[in-house]
Structure 1
Amino acid sequence: MKGRHLQFGAVALEFIMLFPFVVAMLYGAAVYGLTFFAQYRMQNAVDTAVATALYLDRSAYEESEALSAAVTQRANTALAGLVAELPQSLRNLNTDAACSLEAVAGIEMLRCQLVYNNYAENPIAPALDFGMLGAFPPLPAQLDVNARAAF
């Protein structure tokens, strides 16, 4: 009878020692899930903006500069509208001139980029601070996404 009572104490001690690790793993999984889902939503917005900009009637533009300006303007307008539909925590992204043209190996590319800079001050999911041990889970300093397409 006495040995059985000691065994219950061992199980309780194991539970007390392992429970914080199990909770930490669940919390870390939830925080990373929210962070990666936010990055996915941002990536989807820039992908859609690039795709939307390429649906232009090229025959309506005689000069390549006019076509370039129209593509860039359409991409920035689409991206601003798509960012407005994101969750409230992601709506303060700077979309001014987020889409621009760049030359890559002689090919003109449309590039749209979003950067969530204030991740440390305004995280999507809060990290726990353990003083000298640091923050848990470790999170990125910023979230950035981009999409490119040749036109």
Structure 2
Amino acid sequence: MLFPFVIAMLYGAAVYGLTFFAQYRMQAAVDTAVSTALYVDRSENQASNIGTAVSQRANTALAGLVAQLPESLRDNLNTASACGLETIAGGVEVLRCSLVYPNYQTNPIVPVLSFGMLGDFPPLPAQLDVDARAAF
């Protein structure tokens, strides 16, 4: 009698584990892209071009890191304008890189079980999104 509940708990743990691991891989990619971009040689660039150089380096690094992600994850990511510059309070420029897996609830990595009127199991987030920021 408890067998279906035990199986449901194991399946839910597996689905959430894969979901969190996918988000971890996405977060590692944006973290690495931001940290890679901060190694721009300031002596080779004028002060007015530092932001452009940092942004280009971050986008290049992130494109390479996204290419290394598993195909099921990589093909669903929204990477348009993934890295860009922001100005926060006080006029500080910040590099921000982000990745979004839109429609994760309708197109997850692992299929969910549908129980008709009871709904889907396990419940999943609508989207996975990660970002990283660094002032330069």
Aligned to 2:19: 35
1:81 aligned to which of 64, 86, 95: 64
Aligned with 1:28: secondary structure?
Answer: helix
Q: Is 1:142 matched with 2:93?
A: no
Give, in angstroms, the shift of residue 120 of structure 1: 3.1
| Structure 1 unaligned spans of 5+ | 1-16
1:127 & 1:95 partners in 2: Cα distance? 25
* Identity over aligned pairs, percent: 76
| Residue type at the aligned position of 1:129 | S
CA contact (8 A) 1:76 1:96 kept: no
Q: What is the TM-score when the length of structure 2 is the normalising length?
A: 0.94
1:37 & 1:128 partners in 2: Cα distance? 20
CA contact (8 A) 1:101 1:111 kept: yes
Mapping of residues 20-59 of structure 1, within 5 Å: 20-59=4-43
Aligned to 2:118: 133
Moved over 3 A (4+): none
Q: Which has the higher helix share?
A: 1
1:63 & 1:104 partners in 2: Cα distance? 19
Aligned with 2:25: secondary structure?
Answer: helix
CA contact (8 A) 1:109 1:149 kept: yes
Give, in angstroms, the shift of residue 111 of structure 1: 0.2
Q: What is the TM-score when the length of structure 1 is the normalising length?
A: 0.85
RMSD (Å) for aligned C-alpha atoms: 1.0
Q: Is 1:118 matched with 2:118?
A: no
CA contact (8 A) 2:27 2:130 kept: yes
| Residue type at the aligned position of 1:101 | L
Mapping of residues 80-119 of structure 1, within 5 Å: 80-92=63-75, 93-105=77-89, 106-119=91-104
Aligned residues: 134
**Greater Cα radius of gyration, structure 1 or 2:** 1
2:78 & 2:104 partners in 1: Cα distance? 14
CA contact (8 A) 1:111 1:146 kept: yes
